[in-house]
Structures are given as C-alpha cells and as structure tokens.
Amino acid sequence: MATIRLEGLSVFGHHGARPYEKEAGQRLEVDLELESLDDRAERSDRLGDAVDYDRLYQTVREVVEGKSYHLLEALAAATADAVLERFAVGRVKVRISKQNLGWTTGGRAVIEVVRERRA
C-alpha cells in the first residue's frame, strides 16, 4: 500500500495553555503521514481512487482553525480523528510543530499522534 505524506502545512490557530497564546494565535506546522487501505489508486492511476490532498489540507485547516485547544496533544488527536473519519485510510500520523515558545534559546515543541482504523 502507498504511504502518503503531506509535510510542512502552515496553519494558524489559537492554541496554548497560556492566555496570550490563545489571544494572539500562532503559526503551526503540520505533517501528515497516511497509509492507504488498498492499492486502487496505484493500479487505476485515477484521481477518484486516490486520497485528495486538497481535501486533506482543508481538513487540517478546519480542525486547527475551528476550535481552540490548550494542548498540542489534543489538537493532534482531533486532527488524526478527523482524517480517519473523512478518508479511506488505515493509519494516520499527525505531527504538529510549534516554534514560538518564548525561550531566548529558540527551539520548538513537536507532538506526534498516531491513529489506526479499527476493524
């Protein structure tokens, strides 16, 4: 089965445990990794048999922009759940990176959540 990766999706949301994070908002980077349920797209070479990348991106934006979360873990889980709900994939990994932590040394927080379709 094919593995599909969308990397570096830049989205803006109002997430964080501190009030200023929610008020000002921040840019987050989202990476997705999905495993197909079957090999139809590989065999048919038809867009209708493949996962629609535009719909995936729109799903990420809807989750990130639609509700405010205190924790990136909860945001990543909600994103993974939405992808499994809307797309015919067996497994999804969601990785969210947050750059502006307010530390003088720089750095970033990265959260990764994996969800699998239950039979």
User: pLDDT value at position 106?
Assistant: 75
CA distance 66 to 78: 11
Alpha-carbon torsion, ordered 109, 67, 55, 114, to 10 deg: 40
Provide mean pLDDT across the span 15-30.
Answer: 89
State how far the alpha carbon of 61 is from the alpha carbons of 67, 71, 83, in Å: 10, 17, 12
DSSP 87: S
Q: Which amino acid is at 116?
A: E
User: pLDDT value at position 108?
Assistant: 86
Q: In the structure, what pLDDT confidence band is assigned to residue 101 with cuts at 50, 70 and 90?
A: low
The residue among 110 and 20 whose pLDDT is bigger is 110
Which tokens sit at 23?
A: 């008020």
98 is catalytic: yes
Write out pLDDT tens, residues 104-117: 777 888 999 999 99
Mean pLDDT of the chain: 92
Give the residue carrying structure tokens 């889980």. Answer: 77
- CATH of the domain spanning 3-116: 3.30.1130.10
Write out pLDDT tens, residues 56-82: 999 999 999 999 999 999 999 999 999
Residue 32 has pLDDT above 90, yes or no: yes
The residue among 39 and 93 whose pLDDT is bigger is 93
Q: In the structure, what pLDDT confidence band is assigned to residue 33 with cuts at 50, 70 and 90?
A: very high
User: pLDDT value at position 78?
Assistant: 98
Angle at 98 between CA 35 and CA 28, to 5 degrees: 65
> Which residue in 22, 67, 93, 98 is the catalytic one?
98
Q: Which amino acid is at 86?
A: R
40 in Cβ contact with 77 (< 8 Å): no
State how far the alpha carbon of 66 is from the alpha carbons of 4, 12, 25, 115, in Å: 25, 10, 13, 21
